[in-house]
Amino acid sequence: MNLKDIKKVYFIGIGGIGMSALARYFNGRGVEVHGYDKTETLLTKKLVEEGMQIHYTEDLGLVPEGISLVVYTPAVPATHKELVFLRGQGVPVKKRAEVLGIISRGMKTVAVAGTHGKTTTSSILTHLLRCGGIDCTAFLGGIVTNFGSNFVEGQSDWVVVEADEFDRSFLHLSPNIAIILSMDADHLDIYGDRETLLETGFRAFAAKVEKGGRLYIHYQWQEQLGDWPFVESYGIGGGTYRSGNVRVEDGYFTFDYQSPSHRIDGLQLAMAGRHNVENATAALTVALQLGVGEQAIREGLRSFRGIRRRFEILYRSEGRAYVDDYAHHPSELEAAIGAARELFPGKKITGIFQPHLFSRTRDFADGFAAALDQLDEILLMEIYPARELPIEGVDSQWLLGKMKNGNKRLVSKAALLEEIEIAHPEVLLTLGAGDIDTFREPIKAYFEKNRHS
């Protein structure tokens, strides 16, 4: 497919974070962009403001004529009326990952893979490259505060992309440089079991790295990936490219970095958590490889302001704080709770968690319970179903019963703000990938209203 021939693109599921980045890419190139999504959101409203045409009902009468390309997300069911109709029209119909692969093939690509940390790492890397004079393009999985967008348009040959293991999407990429952050069991509805995830997922992705390229992997996962001639390891306290002496100073996570060719002490990261120091370690390693200078690395890490819903501090004043995080896997919950403990030592930490997907809740129930037990107080919402139908016996009451922490209770959406008033939390975390983010502004308003209480 020749990108120059595309004049009108139709997105089914345009409001998704990865889909909207692609839509912005085409829109920026002067292509006419249309799309469908099931609900209007702040993001879809922004896309409309940028000149795209979007509707929210499954209606064939609203599908435009003269479409050059249809892009869809695997989250859309195969029975979707518009998708079925367009498949029968002879128009090219491609998954988002396929289109991203086509775009990146004409560029030098850094692909960031892993079950956790992709968005943070790719966003830090993009910021560091641009601070260092490399005007890269980037397709990101979150709204990055420094850019105000999930798409960054650049003029250089380099593009930074997230390599998503869901639906084996990342196998459409052929990167020059790749990072694998983690390979925890996830998306078992796609892969079936952990070994299949490793073999047909991450090992297959490693094999896609271009000849003469470089693959960086967290040192704790290197053995499970297997033997690759071009692999390098990184991490905190381990790996060839390593960070250490991690501490909190003046509100920044501070650390020292060492590799065969660099030593940089006293690096400061505005984001909280040791896991983000590890993400930053991977990002700065690649940035250094591409020629970014040490001073630009130092200034870039300190000035990186984070990503919407990635340990996003929405309120902090007079010993109280409110943090919102997208965490929807046990290890992500542990990372967020651990970061809060380090950043707010001695404070009572209350967490509101909305489980995402019945299947994920079933598969990781014990892990979720153990992670949430690390909170001082647990408010558990009902499971957000997304694309799934209920699974018998799998609900939030069942998950609550697995928790050993006695300070726990179920909360409904309708009573959530009232429950927060009752809890009067010192540090509050909202956690989950469903629609819990719709409570961000009301909760922030509660904290601001009760600033002195």
Q: What is the mean pLDDT of residues 419-445?
A: 95
Q: Which one, of 359, 381, 373, lies nearest residue 435 by Cα?
A: 381
Give backbone dihedrals phi and psi of 288, rounded to 5 degrees, phi first. Answer: -65, -40
Task: Kindly indicate the confidence band of residue 188, based on its pLDDT and cuts at 50, 70 and 90.
Answer: low
- Give the pair of three-digit tokens for residue 227: 């033997």
What integer best gives the mean pLDDT of the chain? 93
As a whole number of angstroms, the distance between CA 231 and CA 184 comes to: 19
Please return the burial class of 326, using the count of CB atoms within 10 Å of its CB with bins 0-12, 13-18 and 19+. buried
Whether 119 sits among the annotated catalytic residues: the reply is yes
Q: What is the mean pLDDT of residues 143-168?
A: 91
Per-residue pLDDT reduced to its tens digit, 115-134: 889 999 999 999 999 999 99
Whether 162 sits among the annotated catalytic residues: the reply is yes
As a whole number of angstroms, the distance between CA 267 and CA 191 comes to: 39
Q: What is the mean pLDDT of residues 239-258?
A: 93
Q: What is residue 251's predicted lDDT score, i.e. its pLDDT?
A: 73
Q: Is the pLDDT of residue 63 over 70?
A: yes
Q: Is the pLDDT of residue 154 over 90?
A: yes
Residues across the chain: 453
In the chain, the amino acid numbered 440 is R
Q: What is the mean pLDDT of residues 32-49?
A: 95
Q: What is residue 227's predicted lDDT score, i.e. its pLDDT?
A: 81
Catalytic residue among 44, 109, 119, 350: 119
As a whole number of angstroms, the distance between CA 187 and CA 388 comes to: 13
Q: Is the pLDDT of residue 166 over 80?
A: no
Per-residue pLDDT reduced to its tens digit, 67-88: 999 999 988 888 999 999 999 9
Q: Is the pLDDT of residue 427 over 60?
A: yes
Catalytic residue among 32, 82, 162, 312: 162
As a whole number of angstroms, the distance between CA 123 and CA 110 comes to: 12
Task: Kindly indicate the confidence band of residue 252, based on its pLDDT and cuts at 50, 70 and 90.
Answer: confident
In order of their start, the domains of the chain are: 3-95 (3.40.50.720), 107-303 (3.40.1190.10), 312-449 (3.90.190.20)
- Give the pair of three-digit tokens for residue 297: 């690395």
Q: Is the pLDDT of residue 298 over 90?
A: yes
Q: Is the pLDDT of residue 64 over 70?
A: yes
Whether 153 sits among the annotated catalytic residues: the reply is no
Task: Kindly indicate the confidence band of residue 186, based on its pLDDT and cuts at 50, 70 and 90.
Answer: low
Task: Kindly indicate the confidence band of residue 191, based on its pLDDT and cuts at 50, 70 and 90.
Answer: low
Catalytic residue among 118, 165, 285, 312: 118
Q: Is the pLDDT of residue 165 over 80?
A: no
Q: Which one, of 395, 392, 373, 375, lies nearest residue 384 by Cα?
A: 395
Q: What is the mean pLDDT of residues 30-40?
A: 95
Per the model's pLDDT, the better-predicted residue between 150 and 165 turns out to be 150
